[in-house]
Structures are given as structure tokens and as C-alpha cells.
């Protein structure tokens, strides 16, 4: 985790909150869907821009301008930063929006513009990590997510308030 966070306690707290509150539950939902026979694809949008701070990663909903090819819309540069709307970002947006269109029309992503993307299964747990160089990763951060899954009941109450501590909602 240190290579991603630089040992910044606020960044570590955000990463823990993200993995505990979003990533592990998403993986659990993907496993349930796949186990019931549904074709399932799991992704992590990892492109974090300087507008959000180094080490923070992608903010919630940052993937939407990429999914719909809307990097040029008003407010996107302020949200994603110049790097999030530049030429490299435009290429990622092209790949991501192409994959979305493929999924909508065929329900299959095995040969998407993002590269080889096998369906998620509870055994392989393949996650497409969308970034400058996207890749389908088997068991992506599995050790950490397995920890959160195994200790969900023990950690839920203390960690449910971490977002309020790290990033309080302004009223």
C-alpha cells in the first residue's frame, strides 16, 4: 500500500474507506451475479488526476466523462485536471466508450478496445483496471479485499465514519 500512498495518513484513510466501502462490496456483488449465471465484468477506474490530489486516485464518478466521451464538456477539466482531459485521456476515453458501446450491443467484452477482458468468475475474479495502460488483472488486490470481506462485521461500524473524519460534508 505504501507505494500507492506515500504513507500519507489521509490518503491511506481514503484508500481504506474506498476498499472497505466500495471495492470489496462491488467484488462481492460481482461474485454473486456471476455465481447465479450472469455474465459479469468488473472494473476499477484508476485514472486519478492532479485536480484531486496526488495519491488519491480516481474520484467517485470520474469515469463517466470517459464512458460517454464527454471530456470536452464544461466543468470536466476543473474536476479531472488538464491531464484528465489531454491527449492520453482522450485515448483512454475512446477505448472505454468503445468498450461500453460493445457491451451495450453484445453483452460481451472479451475482445474490447481496452484489450483482453475475460468475464469475472468467483474463482478468477478478473478486474479491468482502466488507466493509461489498462489491463485485466486476475485477483486484483485480492489479499486486501479478502481481509475486508473476512472482517466486514468487525470493521463496519468504526470504518463507516471514516469518510466523515477524512472528508467531512460541508453543510
Total domains present in the chain? 1
Cα-based distances in Å from 89 to 55, 66, 79, 128: 18, 8, 13, 17
pTM over 0.75: yes
Structural domain of 159? 2-166
d(CA 94, CA 156): 38
Kindly state whether residue 171 falls inside one of the protein's structural domains: no
Per-residue pLDDT of the chain (171 residues; tens, 9 = 90+): 445 556 778 878 888 887 877 788 888 888 999 999 999 999 999 876 555 555 556 777 889 999 998 888 898 888 887 777 788 889 999 999 999 999 999 999 988 899 889 999 999 999 999 988 999 988 887 788 767 778 776 666 555 555 555 444 443
- What local confidence, expressed as pLDDT, does residue 34 receive? 93
d(CA 109, CA 67): 14
Kindly state whether residue 48 falls inside one of the protein's structural domains: yes
Kindly state whether residue 158 falls inside one of the protein's structural domains: yes
Amino acid at each position: 500500500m505504501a507505494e500507492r500512498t506515500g504513507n500519507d495518513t489521509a490518503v491511506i484513510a481514503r484508500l481504506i474507506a474506498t476498499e472497505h466501502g466500495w471495492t470489496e462490496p462491488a467484488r462481492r456483488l460481482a461474485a454473486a451475479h456471476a455465481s447465479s449465471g450472469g455474465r459479469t465484468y468488473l472494473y476499477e477506474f484508476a485514472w486519478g488526476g492532479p485536480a484531486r490530489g496526488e495519491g488519491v486516485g480516481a474520484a467517485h464518478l470520474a469515469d463517466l466523462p470517459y464512458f460517454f466521451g464527454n471530456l470536452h464538456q464544461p466543468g470536466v477539466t476543473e474536476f479531472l485536471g488538464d491531464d484528465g482531459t489531454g491527449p492520453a485521456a482522450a485515448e483512454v476515453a475512446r477505448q472505454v466508450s468503445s468498450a461500453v458501446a460493445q457491451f451495450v450491443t453484445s453483452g460481451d467484452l472479451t475482445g474490447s478496445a481496452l484489450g483482453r477482458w475475460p468475464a469475472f468468475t468467483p474463482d478468477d475474479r478478473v478486474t479491468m483496471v482502466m488507466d493509461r495502460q489498462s489491463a485485466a488483472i486476475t485477483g486484483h488486490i485480492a489479499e486486501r479485499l479478502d481481509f475486508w470481506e473476512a472482517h466486514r462485521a468487525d470493521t463496519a461500524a468504526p470504518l463507516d465514519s471514516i469518510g466523515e473524519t477524512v472528508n467531512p460534508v460541508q453543510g
